[in-house]
Amino acid sequence: MSDTIFHKIVRREIPATIVYEDEHLIAFRDIAPQAPVHVLFVPKETIATLNDVREDQAHIVGRLAHAAAEYAKREGFAEDGYRIVMNCNANGGQTVFQIHLHLLAGAPLGGFGR
């Protein structure tokens, strides 16, 4: 299992603006935000890509989405809306090989369905 920058953030070895943490996952602001709100939700269990999620680990992905929705409600933009994204491997644009969910919000987002 390879160590990533996100593991270092969990261990507090490098700084990040952490906005939520529990026993299962951590959420922090993306260092290069692509929207006014750009938060990454990362499980504490090591899984390199979405391809590596076993059936008995599927709940881990669900937890990330649930935590993102709860954050959106707490922060007051759930009704306005937001986007969640998970990139996988080269064509998906994945650059950090520990699964994570992007939460993007704070403005109308272009792209899909437009």
The minimum distance between CB 30 and ligand 5GP, in angstroms, equals 5
Helices marked H in 1-51 — which ranges?
Answer: 5-10
**4 touching ligand 5GP, by CB under 6 A:** no
Is 61 a residue that touches ligand 5GP (CB under 6 A)?
no
Looking at the chain, list the stretches that DSSP marks H as alpha helix, in order from N- to C-terminal side.
5-10, 58-75, 89-92
For tokens 């750009």, name the residue. 38
Whether residue 100 lies in the annotated active site: yes
Of the candidates 95, 43, 90, the one whose C-alpha atom is nearest the C-alpha of residue 65 is: 43
Q: Nearer Cβ to ligand 5GP, position 38 or 79?
A: 38
Number of neighbours of residue 22 by Cβ within 10 angstroms = 10
User: Is residue 30 a contact point for ligand 5GP (CB under 6 A)?
Assistant: yes
Under rule CB under 6 A, residue 16 binds ligand 5GP: yes
Sites of contact with ligand 5GP (CB under 6 A): 5, 16, 28-32, 40, 87, 93-96
